[in-house]
Chains A and B, each alone.
Chain A
Amino acid sequence: MNLRTIPLSAWIGMAGLAVALVCAAFAPWVAPHGEGDVVGDIWAPLGGDFLLGTDNLGRDLLSRLIYGARTTILVSLAATVLSFAIGMFLSFMAVVRGGIVDQAFSRFNDLMMAIPTLIFALVVLAVLPQETWILVLVMAILDSTRVFRIGRAVALDVAVMEFVEAARLRGEGKLWIIFREILPNTLSPLLAEFGLRFAFAILFLSTLSFLGLGIQPPTADWGGMVKDNKDGIIFGVSASLIPGAAIALLAVCINLVVDWLTKRTSSLKGGRGDA
């Protein structure tokens, strides 16, 4: 791989992602104030004593944004990793076992996907206690249906290739076939898919928090910050737009990287990569 072939858009995406990750990792050192410290007046304007102003309780918005990055990214990442683990495992199982196992998994997955994700999440979260790990689990399970579908399609594409059949004819075990024959050939498209699902998880978590069903206060997270400050909108206070913009920027950055990865994958397959 050649660094010079990476387009500018992908560099921008990676830079944005890096900033967000640094904020998330070193929040206590980067943030000027504590996560829950009330430091000034309600909805102080931008500039002034506080770079991004204060929120509806007089907490420093910049600090909350930095701590929020930590929560938002961590929870989304955990959900995505978990959903990939579940989705990939089940989809590869379905492909390798085939037959009735595949049918059962796939039909159940169709059923899960017949209910829109947000609606499903609302129904489930109405019953379950409001805990972060439950939130992660719900997000992961709902998202794993999408991972299952794409994982199955990709694995199926590879599994019908003759080199997989050749491995079976040699007498290789299932683990070898999955990890040595199929998996290395699915990494590229799945990496792009991981990025896509991660961006989606951030948007989804933010939406849930915005609806009051995601991360619970006083923990800072971007979607929740929009909700906290939304009443300021009619007074022209931008406090709810800033975390919203942060979500959008992070998602854009991830999508820029994913866009490049997808094009790279398709050009490896011999396509001209402009479709």
Chain B
Amino acid sequence: MPDLLSVRNLKIEATAYPPGEPPRTVTLVDNVSFDLTKGKVLGLIGESGAGKSTIGLAALAYGRGGARIAGGQIGLNGQDILTLGPKEIRGIRGARVCYVAQSAAAAFNPAHRLGEQVIEASLRHRIMSRAEAEKRAVYLFRILGLPEPETFGRRFPHQVSGGQLQRAMTAMALCPNPELIVFDEPTTALDATTQIDVLAAIKHAIEETRTAALYITHDLAVVAQVSDDIMVLRRGRTVECGSVRQIIEMPREEYTRALVNVRQSIRQETADQSDPLLKVEKISARYPNGFEVLHDVSLHLPKGQTLAIVGESGSGKSTLARVITGLLPPSEGRISFNRKELTPALKDRSKDDLRRIQLIYQMADTAMNPRQTVRDIIGRPLTFYYGLRGAVKTARVKELLDQIEMGNGFIDRYPAELSGGQKQRVVIARALAAQPEVILCDEPTSALDPLVAQGILELLMRLQKETAVSYLFITHDIAIVRAIADSVAVMHRGRLVRFGPRSKVLSPPFDDYTDLLLKSVPEMEVGWLERVLEARRMESTGN
């Protein structure tokens, strides 16, 4: 019996249109081959630009944004789908092969009810009658753990939450009883505590319906929970392919090893945390519309140390940074720096106060003026705070470039000419140029690929050692907290849940939320998800 999906020497190209240059052909995927048998799950893993989504969509004979399949075969049950006409391909899409997109919020049509969209493909391909399809939809809603499965389908996409939408999208893919489903980063946009539920639901549904799946993600820990086999991709080529256990426990290639070992602890916790440099006392803050985003938050950060603030979206962690910078003056409470109270509003602070606290953003793209060169970007704080000009300034910019491990050759480049990691480094250099005492880091690595992020974290730690700067590091990623923090603050819905030295915060006894949060973060080991779910079941039966 042939494999369900058998891909041979796949090559995918697209035409790039660089501004001001003639168009050219770029290769997105080159010479990729793999097999997938019935009922199995293959994880495709890689950083951005690895071509994993492109391969996933190729299984539906679809090229997104002008991508076209330039060579190779894609066999579905022994039939090469690349030789089929448009009508036959339509017969495969949505019937035999289905697709789950990363952003279900955008992928559902806002004008129609969820139920209608879930059963649409089954009806149009005449796979089942309306009554059968509706019954199956309810069944799928139930096994995916959606609320009120009988009536869930009557809702509109905007009436349900992000995690529910993602599960509804999975139901939509499962409904026609396909042979293969392509999951394209289905949990990436979700918070950790939501991700684990969706992940569990997807895994359960796959087992229940015995469909085969391609599971695409950049997160090795996630794919380890749902896949049987893993294929590691890099720049459109295969790095290695093997069983989950082999990839996680005995990676053969250097690149895979790096992916597996990412974010191992970088530094030890500092013991003495008594002398605060930055102190936040009983801070509450409101948006202009009166909504209270922060409630009674108190914490402190000693000199030369790192305080990690961890929480999910909406926890108020970024708002706290805005309050400290003075962008959003607090409604109550005070902030002191070096035992001196800071003026609440940005416009009342002295230039020197501003210099001492610098901010690094999540998106380095928008944090730099695209019309300024690296020299202007790093040089401006030098001129502004220290009055440096001309050759002295250039010399200092070059020094800073050395510090962030970038060569002098970058000095006259524009941000658009830098890679994601280089951009973030330049932003760090701009902060360093002010010679600050505290740098507020607002998720500086979450938009980056794991290995690049690792490099940025190591750079930040080295700079801390050299300059004794303190970091207030905002993140949603527990692994980062474990790797770099001296002290940790856990935030949930605008309140501080837990604060103290890392070793204390991250060890039991836990409060409910920290417990949930910690248990929701996938760990890089086979069978982790089962164990967590098992533990939950025990708990709920025990209670």
Contact = CB atoms under 8 A, between A and B. Distances in A.
Given A2-B21, A5-B20, A172-B384, A166 B327 contact: no
A2 B361 CA distance: 34
Nearest to A168: B346
B346 A169 contact: yes
A185 B384 contact: no
A162 B325 contact: no
Interface string B313-356: 00000000000010100000000000000000010010100110
B19 A267 contact: yes
A7 to B, nearest CB: 13
Nearest to A164: B369
A163 B369 CA distance: 6
Contacts of B418: none
B183 to A, nearest CB: 27
A268 interface: yes
Nearest to A188: B371
B17 interface: yes
B369 A184 contact: yes
Contacts of A163: 366-369
A170 to B, nearest CB: 6
A10 to B, nearest CB: 14
Chain B residues touching A, range: 20 to 34
A171 B366 contact: no
Nearest to A158: B369
Contact of A169 (B17, B325, B371, B380): B325
A153 interface: no
A185 B366 CA distance: 12
Nearest to A273: B17
Nearest to B381: A170
B292 to A, nearest CB: 21
Given A163-B367, A171-B384, A264 B346 contact: no
Contacts of B430: 166
B354 A267 contact: no
B371 A170 contact: no
B360 to A, nearest CB: 9
Contacts of B384: 170-172
A169 B369 contact: no
Interface string A1-43: 1100100000000000000000000000000000000000000
B359 interface: yes
Contacts of A267: 17, 19
B20 A169 contact: no
Task: Please indicate which of the listed interface residues A161, A166, A172 has the most CB atoms of chain B within 10 Å of its own CB.
Answer: A166
Interface in B368-389: 368-371, 380-381, 384
Nearest to B20: A2
B176 to A, nearest CB: 33
B363 interface: yes
Interface in B21-48: 21-22
A172 B430 CA distance: 15
Nearest to A265: B19
A168 B384 CA distance: 12
A184 B358 CA distance: 24
A1 B19 CA distance: 9
A262 to B, nearest CB: 13
Task: Please indicate which of the listed interface residues A161, A172, A267, A273 has the most CB atoms of chain B within 10 Å of its own CB.
Answer: A161
A185 B346 contact: no
A131 interface: no
A98 B17 CA distance: 38
Interface residues of A, number: 21
A268 B361 contact: no
Nearest to B434: A170
A185 B371 contact: yes
Contact of B354 (A165, A169, A181, A273): A169
Given A170-B381, A172-B384, A162 B20 contact: no
A166 B370 contact: no
A184 to B, nearest CB: 4
Given A165-B327, A264-B19, A272-B17, A171 B367 contact: no
A195 B20 CA distance: 21
Interface string A233-275: 0000000000000000000000000000000100110001100
A181 B369 contact: yes
Given A163-B367, A185-B370, A171 B19 contact: no
B373 to A, nearest CB: 12
A170 B380 contact: yes
A163 to B, nearest CB: 5
A1 B349 contact: no
Interface in A137-167: 161-163, 165-166
B20 A1 contact: yes
A243 B411 CA distance: 54
Given A169-B354, A170-B384, A172-B384, A162 B361 contact: yes
Contacts of B355: 171
Given A2-B20, A267-B17, A272-B17, A169 B359 contact: yes
A162 B354 contact: no
A185 B353 CA distance: 29
Contacts of A181: 369
Given A1-B20, A170-B381, A172-B384, A162 B351 contact: no
Contacts of A172: 384
A171 B434 CA distance: 12
Nearest to B380: A170
B366 A162 contact: yes
Interface string A54-95: 000000000000000000000000000000000000000000
B337 to A, nearest CB: 15
A166 B17 contact: no
A4 to B, nearest CB: 8
Task: Please indicate which of the listed interface residues A1, A171, A181 has the most CB atoms of chain B within 10 Å of its own CB.
Answer: A171
A171 B354 contact: yes
B461 to A, nearest CB: 23
Contacts of A170: 354, 380-381, 384, 434
B438 to A, nearest CB: 12
Interface in A162-211: 162-163, 165-166, 168-172, 181, 184-185
A54 B430 CA distance: 68
Given A166-B361, A170-B381, A184-B371, 10 more contacts: A161-B366, A163-B366, A163-B368, A163-B369, A166-B359, A169-B359, A170-B434, A171-B351, A264-B19, A268-B19
Interface of B: 17, 19-22, 325, 327, 346, 349, 351, 354-355, 358-359, 361, 363, 366-371, 380-381, 384, 430, 434
Interface of A: 1-2, 5, 161-163, 165-166, 168-172, 181, 184-185, 264, 267-268, 272-273
21 contacts: A2-B21, A5-B22, A163-B366, A163-B368, A166-B359, A166-B367, A166-B430, A169-B327, A169-B354, A169-B359, A170-B354, A170-B380, A170-B381, A170-B434, A171-B349, A171-B384, A181-B369, A184-B369, A185-B371, A272-B17, A273-B17
**Shortest 10 CB-CB distances between A and B: which pairs?**
A184-B371, A162-B367, A171-B354, A163-B369, A162-B366, A162-B361, A161-B366, A171-B351, A267-B19, A2-B20
